[in-house]
Amino acid sequence: MARTDDDSWDITESVGATALGVAAARAAESGSEHPLFDDPCARIFVDAAIARGWSPPFTAADPGPAQAGRMRMLMAYVPSRTKWFDEYFAAAGADGIRQVVILAAGLDARAWRLPWPDGTVVFEIDQPKVLAFKEETLAAHGVEPAARHVGVPIDLRQDWPEALRQSGFDPTQPTAWLAEGLLPYLPAEAQDLLFDRLHELSAPGSRVAVEGFGPEYFSEAKQRIREERMDAVRAEAARSGKPIFDVSDLFYIEPREDIAEWLTRHGWQTRFETSAEVTARYKPEVAGEVPDVGSEFVDAKLS
């Protein structure tokens, strides 16, 4: 699963499959007793991928404690993250923003499931085969978007600003951007370029929300702790005969600037909450028992 500068993937492969992993978590949350949100598309995506031969992670009949712990951690983290960014878009809509760009949209179904104000357009950028799977699957189920939806199939390491403009994006209008579940899959240099470009395309009044991973996250000490935890998960998985898909194999573990600091430095009014604070608010029943992912959720405005 080694990464290369111009690697590409389908939905069940490499970085594409990470979109299925988070969709599976949203499907599970939606089917739970007191869900934080309802994402009916998530189940549709998961079932369509299973029909293509994809096997959902963490479905061992008898998971050991390490696997069960990782599952609990993801089920605290992913739904809390979804809820936080859902609220961001509600606030951006209330601010009067009608142009939305979801970077690395994967199987994010917000364009189909959120109550967008009239006149909203949602652009989604991701690799071509990922967006093709998403759009074909939803069309096959007759699911209609709740805003004007425009897919922009391109790799974020390529000239995506040009592709976005050609798809009708208007840089003179304020935009609500989202980068969720993306940054560790980009080299540090590509992350900087992504935000340089986003900044250039942002009219006054724009907002951006980011799932950020600061220098501490990529430190050797934190990396070692995560590896030890994953070694235990892998050992259990090997015993059960079901190999584990470890997303961090796809990460670029490189020092990079904290994104809240980057945005502040570029004139954005920035606020953030840590993943520990967010999961404690939305999943108080489990947050204290599971390891913290160690990310931060950033919401910044440009005046």
C-alpha–C-alpha distance, residues 158 and 5, integer Å: 10
User: Any idea which residue has 């934080």 for tokens?
Assistant: 36
181 binds ligand SAM (CB under 6 A): yes
Residue nearest to ligand SAM (CB): 106
User: Which is nearest to 274 in space by CA: 301, 294, 300, 299?
Assistant: 294
108 binds ligand SAM (CB under 6 A): yes
155 binds ligand SAM (CB under 6 A): yes
Residue choice 46, 75, 107, 298 for contact with ligand SAM (CB under 6 A)? 107
18 binds ligand SAM (CB under 6 A): yes
Q: How many residues does the chain have?
A: 303
Nearer to ligand SAM, 106 or 212 (CB): 106
Question: What's the closest the beta carbon of residue 34 comes to ligand SAM, in angstroms?
Answer: 21
Residue choice 182, 183, 201, 287 for contact with ligand SAM (CB under 6 A)? 182
Residue choice 57, 93, 106, 174 for contact with ligand SAM (CB under 6 A)? 106
39 binds ligand SAM (CB under 6 A): no
122 binds ligand SAM (CB under 6 A): no
| Residue 189 structure tokens | 């240099």
Nearer to ligand SAM, 18 or 30 (CB): 18
Q: Using an 8 Å Cβ cutoff, are 293 and 195 in contact? A: no
Residue choice 99, 127, 191, 270 for contact with ligand SAM (CB under 6 A)? 127
- Largest Cα span, the chain: 56
Residue 257, classed as helix, strand or coil, is coil
Beta strands 268-274 and 296-302 are: antiparallel
175: left (phi over 0), alpha (psi -120 to 50) or beta: beta
Taking residues 55 to 94 in sequence order and writing x for each that binds ligand SAM by CB under 6 A, - otherwise, the string is: ----------------------------------------
Residues 6+ apart with CB under 8 A from 225: none
Nearer to ligand SAM, 41 or 263 (CB): 41
* Strands in the chain per DSSP E: 99-103, 121-126, 148-153, 175-179, 207-212, 268-274, 296-302
Q: Which residues bind ligand SAM (CB under 6 A)?
A: 15-16, 18-19, 22, 104-108, 126-127, 130, 155-157, 180-182, 185
